[in-house]
Amino acid sequence: MYVPFARKYRPRKFSELVGQDVASRVLLNAVRLGKLAHAYIFAGPRGTGKTTTARILTRAINCLRPIDGEPCGECENCIAIEKGTFPDLIEIDAASNRGIDDIRSLRDAVSYTPLKGKYKVYILDEAHMLTKEAFNALLKTLEEPPPRTVFILCTTEYEKIIPTILSRCQRIIFSKLREEDIVKYLKFICEKENLRCEERALLTIARISDGGMRDAVSLLDQTATFGEGEVKEQIIEEFLGILSQEKVREFIKLLLSGDTDNALRFLRDIRDRGYNLSIFWDSVEEEVRNLIIYKSLKEPERVMRVEPFHKEISANLNALLYLEKLINTARTESRTMDLFRACEIAIIKSAIIKDILSIEELIKVLREGEKVVEKPQERQITQETQTESPKEDLWQILQNNLKRIDFERLKRLPWEEREGKLFIKVGKKEAKSLEIEKLKAKFPFLEFLVEEDEEKEELPESVKNIKTLFNAKIIGYERDKGKDNPS
């Protein structure tokens, strides 16, 4: 009978677990040192080894001949657990048995001692699916379980476990596996099964599995069956309808070069050939994000896998950030319109990417532009040039080189022109406002005659008399009003 890869190559010891070093070390030490907890919560994404680890722990604590905390895998109990016939291992699907009556039945059965092994183990898969009433019914049992009983709650949604349950269990978090670890394990399986594989194909499988080893091994099994013992990128494209990483990168190069015609043809072609457009767009987003990381960091090798593709892309960070925004915008707009149309609009908008400059390039262009576009009037500002052309219209020079508002303020002031210079009278406050020292430094032909600001003229005597009379009338009115209202 054929055994799928996911079951055939399932880890049977703590040392065989891939990518979960913390979980395996904590549990192995607990078994070795005799510090086993009565209840555990295994939380993490799907396919990361939660249930597998729970079974390994069950074997380790019930093994008749354990080796330094590891199960031997050969004794009667280990074989029974592997076959699923061990009477003291009870696996419950909490998604199907989620009510209070199911938990009451479990609570009644817990009181019985183990039949064959050292410990009775309850594994609750998808524990977050239990109802609130069922959780409450389980509280007392978890807090004070019978001797030699262990509860293991496995969940993919840790946040849905109520706090009272969390406080009674030891928590072990399972993380997503790295692509490198998945590829290494897939190679191991290919060698054992004599499969002809391409590393790029294995990378594609690892990327699609999104950190889940179970999904990756299942995809490898299906691809090998479809390809009759071969695991290649072309086979994955035909079988899964997913473009290879190489073709995704070709599409990105078209976008960065501004070749919208060929990019649109590329998009239409993959749609007509039945490829999954949503997965393709996700792959484009991931590749662009990796390019942004590569361009942003001094040592990108420490956080990502650097390939020749990343090094050969000459686009600057600003261009890549703009492209990433276009991709995300298309994804957002696909909620209200067809994804294909949203992607087409994003491609058309990407035509300007090739013209986007980096900050350094922009500053360089602006500096070069200042030299090229330098006005001829500016060359006449220096004292040396003034001597050569004393008859130059000095006000015209000011008008060409000053802001209009500053020029108008100067023009309103009293001035006199003599000996090739402009003499302007200005008050102290006005001089400070105009920053005359900066003006003199920029225009040597300017001379300012700073005078004291004039005092404000006093009001005429007749106006003062009117004001005094007006105030007196107001005071009299208020006094008379007070007499009428003694309160």
Here the tokens at position 271 are 């749609």
Report the alpha-carbon distance of residue 191 to residue 339 in Å, rounded: 41
* 466, part of any domain: no
Q: Please indicate, yes or no, whether residues 67 and 185 belong to a single structural domain of this protein.
A: no
Element (H, E) at 89: strand 89-93
pLDDT of residue 484: 52
Tens-digit pLDDT profile for residues 44-66 = 998 899 999 999 999 999 999 98
Q: Between 393 and 138, whose confidence is greater?
A: 138
Q: Please indicate, yes or no, whether residues 92 and 199 belong to a single structural domain of this protein.
A: no
* 465, part of any domain: no
Tell me the residue ranges of DSSP E strands in 290-366: none
Q: Please indicate, yes or no, whether residues 35 and 161 belong to a single structural domain of this protein.
A: yes
Average pLDDT, the chain: 82
Q: Please indicate, yes or no, whether residues 184 and 320 belong to a single structural domain of this protein.
A: no
| Residues 127 and 154 sit within 8 Å (Cβ to Cβ) | yes
DSSP one-letter string for 409-445 = HHHHS-EEEETTEEEEEEEHHHHHHHTHHHHHHH-TT
Which residues contact residue 147 at a Cβ distance below 8 angstroms, ignoring those fewer than 6 apart?
Answer: 113
* 456, part of any domain: no
Of 295, 320, 355, which residue sits at a domain end?
355
DSSP one-letter string for 361-418 = HHHHHHHHHHHHT--GGGGGSSHHHHHH-TTS-HHHHHHHHS-HHHHHHHHHS-EEEE
Give the residue-averaged pLDDT of 7-16: 90
Does pLDDT of 420 surpass 90? no
Tens-digit pLDDT profile for residues 289-313 = 999 999 998 888 888 888 889 988 8
Q: Between 97 and 187, whose confidence is greater?
A: 187
pLDDT of residue 453: 64
Q: Please indicate, yes or no, whether residues 235 and 253 belong to a single structural domain of this protein.
A: no
pLDDT band at 323 (very low <50, low <70, confident <90, very high): very high
Count the Cβ atoms, other than its own, within 10 Å of residue 312.
9
Q: Please indicate, yes or no, whether residues 164 and 16 belong to a single structural domain of this protein.
A: yes
- The CATH number covering residue 308 comes to 1.20.272.10
pLDDT of residue 377: 42
The region of weakest confidence among 36-40, 166-170, 352-356, 482-486 is 482-486
Which residues contact residue 2 at a Cβ distance below 8 angstroms, ignoring those fewer than 6 apart?
Answer: none
pLDDT band at 342 (very low <50, low <70, confident <90, very high): very high
pLDDT of residue 173: 92
Tens-digit pLDDT profile for residues 99-150 = 788 788 888 888 888 888 899 999 998 888 888 888 888 888 888 888 888 9
Give the residue-averaged pLDDT of 174-195: 91
pLDDT of residue 385: 37
Q: Please indicate, yes or no, whether residues 39 and 131 belong to a single structural domain of this protein.
A: yes
Tens-digit pLDDT profile for residues 364-374 = 666 665 544 44
- The CATH number covering residue 229 comes to 1.10.8.60
Q: Please indicate, yes or no, whether residues 10 and 156 belong to a single structural domain of this protein.
A: yes
Give the total number of structural domains in the chain: 4
pLDDT of residue 372: 44
Q: Please indicate, yes or no, whether residues 87 and 169 belong to a single structural domain of this protein.
A: yes
pLDDT of residue 383: 39
Report the alpha-carbon distance of residue 475 to residue 452 in Å, rounded: 40
Q: Please indicate, yes or no, whether residues 214 and 318 belong to a single structural domain of this protein.
A: no
Tens-digit pLDDT profile for residues 213-269 = 999 999 999 888 888 888 888 888 877 778 888 889 999 999 998 899 999 999 999
Q: Please indicate, yes or no, whether residues 402 and 297 belong to a single structural domain of this protein.
A: no
Does pLDDT of 329 surpass 90? yes
* 167, part of any domain: yes
pLDDT of residue 239: 79
Which residues contact residue 375 at a Cβ distance below 8 angstroms, ignoring those fewer than 6 apart?
Answer: 400, 401
Q: Between 327 and 398, whose confidence is greater?
A: 327
The region of weakest confidence among 17-21, 25-29, 275-279, 451-455 is 451-455
pLDDT band at 200 (very low <50, low <70, confident <90, very high): confident
Quote the Cα angle for 326-332-338, to 5°.
100
pLDDT of residue 485: 52
User: How do beta strands 149-155 and 39-43 pair?
Assistant: parallel
Quickly tell me which residue has 């998945």 as its tokens. 182
pLDDT of residue 480: 55
Q: Please indicate, yes or no, whether residues 233 and 138 belong to a single structural domain of this protein.
A: no
Of 118, 142, 173, which residue sits at a domain end?
173
Of 355, 386, 410, which residue sits at a domain end?
355
* 262, part of any domain: yes
C-alpha to C-alpha distances, 5 to 174, 178, 217, 439, nearest whole angstrom: 22, 20, 6, 83
DSSP one-letter string for 182-249 = HHHHHHHHHHHHT-EE-HHHHHHHHHHHTT-HHHHHHHHHHHHHHTTSEE-HHHHHHHH----HHHHH
The domain of 25 spans: 5-173
